[in-house]
Structure 1
Amino acid sequence: MGACVEYEEQASLHAAGALEGEEATRFLSHLESCAACRAEVASTQELLGRVALPPQTPVEVRAQEGLGARTLSAWRREQTRRWMGRRALSSLAAVAAVVTLMLGPSALERFRAPRTTVPDTARTVDTRDDVDAETLAAFEAWAGLEPLEDDGSEYGSGSGSGSDDELPWDGEDDAMDGDFNLGEAL
């Protein structure tokens, strides 16, 4: 059996201790005459007693005392940090705008200026004209290559025979010389 339909909500509120004023007085006068509503209030009070939180410990009480102030100060610090970040970003944007305004016209003039082109004939240079025949022959001898062309230099006849008498030094004389020093050869 449940509470009266018109007093169901008041029964739950009264059991939770949330019913106040004139409404509480009217419900208490009805509660004296209605056994079904008294049973509903007792049942709801028992249920709420089972799910009620235990009393707070002193540590929990101290933690809750400063909770509002700590939360507000943390929120203010976060807002200040965000404001400083936005301020730094806007300052950087202002500096970039000033630099762009100062350097922009000169940069635009560089793009608008006509470009001079260098003719292709000036770009091509024959590298063999820059190197004299004697240097080229010395390089070929150093690299141990056969001469690329017969230029009549002192390092070879162009036949590619590769004999030792064509070289500018004679290895046998240096090896037999008593003053030969290995450190000088390296």
Structure 2
Amino acid sequence: MPTGVAIRDVRRQLFDAAERVLLREGPSGLTSRAVTAEAGFAKGVLHRHFEDFDAFLADFVLDRAERMDTQAAALRDAAGTGTVVGNLTDALTALFESVAVAVVALVTFRDELRSRLRQSWPAGVPILTEGAIMIGDYLTAEVELGRIAPAAEVDALAPMLIGTGHLLFADRTGRRPDPDAVRRAVANVVGGVLR
């Protein structure tokens, strides 16, 4: 990028570049130089917009968590349609086929990033916590519609489903789990509360 040329949506371009690098190279390959090269920017562009690289990464992780709003709305809207197991299987697959698994590895990999995230996000990994909230809201809607037993422990089931999904998809470089395996896992977690 030539000097003196205005860059539009710098944050978005840097975050999208970071996602591509993270998915391709993993947490150890995600450096400020790799991100700016991927975006086609000079390295100084990142440092003009963020205090340091860990501040950039914290904002990147939070941005990716916030992007789940559309997915959460779609899942809530699915309440009462299809099957509960099918809806949850689709939601978990969409969540973990996104950048979520790579973000978990990144947060685990970088101590300073975890410290920065704790300043604005008190517990958990943001993308997984948002996923658990999304699943919990959906389960609550299904309880209200009578498709899940009223005594169901939604606050326990949601993180169990997120943990189960994460374990199934955790190897970001290996084969994705078979859709039937995801469906069976979901059915085992929620089978006892379905009506």
**Greater relative contact order structure (CA < 8 Å, 6+ sep):** 2
Query: Structure 2 length as normaliser, TM-score?
Result: 0.23
State which structure, 1 or 2, has the greater radius of gyration over its C-alpha atoms. Answer: 1
